């Protein structure tokens, strides 16, 4: 019974956190939305918008080997880029890096969740502040959001040093922006989704909140303020990255 309750039954749009929340919603939903504003899903939106196919991959050194096997380019850490290899998790860098056909984009949060969700066979969409409204419109056009075809919105969050989930302001606001675009779906919002949406309604300046939250300050203080500025541009994109057979491309 507890498992059934955790799946937020009876709602057309549901909300949860992290890898475990994605697995729970993936059991019962017809589609999943992964949100990792700083920075995986923002980077995916930028790359897919430039015509690249993005392969999600859990964080680790094996990404380079995997990219070599499939004939792709592997993104590296922000501080590991060179003029010859400018591809990284940095959305700002991906706006100017040469477009490649296939990009392996590892990250410990959104990418790992997307890679795991791919195994469910469900449609998985990458959403961020830049494309939240477009994602919501696309899901509604596809018929998701009823009690028979519910959609699960997953805020990736961050990790504490011990590996436990650290809920993050930017991902809650990004997920809530998608839920805002889904607020009129026939199945309605679960309580969890409605509470997440309430956080958005009580945030008068979303870009300022993202800049000032822990994750935003961490990037700014680390010299990557440009990544935050790319990420906070709300609803500037109509790109809907859809995961098909393990690869994000434009829906």
pLDDT in tens, 96-155: 999 999 999 999 999 999 999 999 999 999 999 999 999 999 999 999 999 999 999 999
Name the residue among 95, 173, 182, 91 with its Cα closest to residue 133: 182
pLDDT band at 3 (very low <50, low <70, confident <90, very high): low
- pLDDT level of residue 231 (50, 70, 90 thresholds): very high
Q: What is the pLDDT of residues 174-224, one digit of tens each?
A: 999 999 999 999 999 999 999 999 999 999 999 999 999 999 999 999 999
pLDDT category at 6 given cuts 50, 70, 90 is confident
* Residue 59: predicted pLDDT: 80
Percent of the chain with pLDDT over 70: 98
pLDDT single digits (tens) 59-87: 876 999 999 999 999 999 999 999 999 99
The helix (run of H) or strand (run of E) holding residue 159 is strand 158-159
Tokens of 188: 């309605």
Bin 125: left if φ > 0, else alpha if -120 < ψ < 50, else beta: beta
**Distances, alpha carbon 130 to alpha carbons 23, 43, 174, 192, in Å:** 25, 10, 9, 23
Q: What pTM, to 2 d.p., does this model score?
A: 0.96
Asked if 14 and 193 count as a contact pair (C-beta separation under 8 A), the reply is yes
pLDDT (0 to 100) of residue 58: 87
Asked whether residue 4 carries a pLDDT value surpassing 90, the answer given is no
Q: Can you name the residues that pair with 55 across neighbouring β-strands?
A: 104
Taking 50 as the threshold, does the pLDDT of residue 1 lie above it? no
Question: What is the CB neighbour count within 10 angstroms for residue 60?
Answer: 12
Q: Where residue 28 falls among pLDDT bands split at 50, 70, 90?
A: very high
């Amino acid at each position: 019974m507890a498992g059934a309750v955790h799946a937020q039954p009876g709602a057309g749009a549901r909300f949860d956190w992290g890898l475990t929340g994605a697995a729970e919603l993936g059991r019962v939903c017809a589609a999943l939305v992964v949100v990792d504003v700083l920075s995986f899903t923002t980077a995916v939106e930028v790359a897919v918008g430039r015509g690249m196919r993005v392969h999600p991959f859990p964080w680790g050194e094996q990404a380079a080997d995997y990219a070599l096997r499939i004939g792709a380019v592997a993104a590296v850490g922000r501080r590991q880029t060179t003029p010859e290899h400018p591809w990284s998790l940095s959305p700002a860098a991906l706006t100017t890096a040469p477009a490649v056909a296939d990009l392996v984009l590892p990250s410990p949060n959104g990418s790992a969740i997307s890679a795991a969700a791919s195994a469910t066979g469900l449609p998985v969409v990458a959403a961020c502040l830049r494309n939240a409204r477009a994602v919501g419109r696309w899901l509604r056009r596809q018929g998701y959001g009823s009690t028979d075809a519910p959609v699960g919105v997953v805020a990736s969050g961050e990790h504490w040093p011990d590996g436990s989930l650290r809920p993050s302001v930017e991902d809650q606001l990004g997920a809530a922006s998608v839920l805002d675009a889904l607020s009129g779906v026939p199945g309605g919002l679960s309580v969890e989704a409605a509470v997440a949406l309430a956080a958005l309604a009580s945030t008068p300046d979303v870009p300022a909140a993202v800049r000032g939250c822990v994750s935003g300050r961490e990037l700014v203080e680390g010299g990557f303020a440009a990544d935050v500025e790319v990420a906070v541009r709300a609803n500037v994109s109509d790109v809907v990255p859809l995961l098909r057979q393990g690869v994000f491309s434009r829906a």
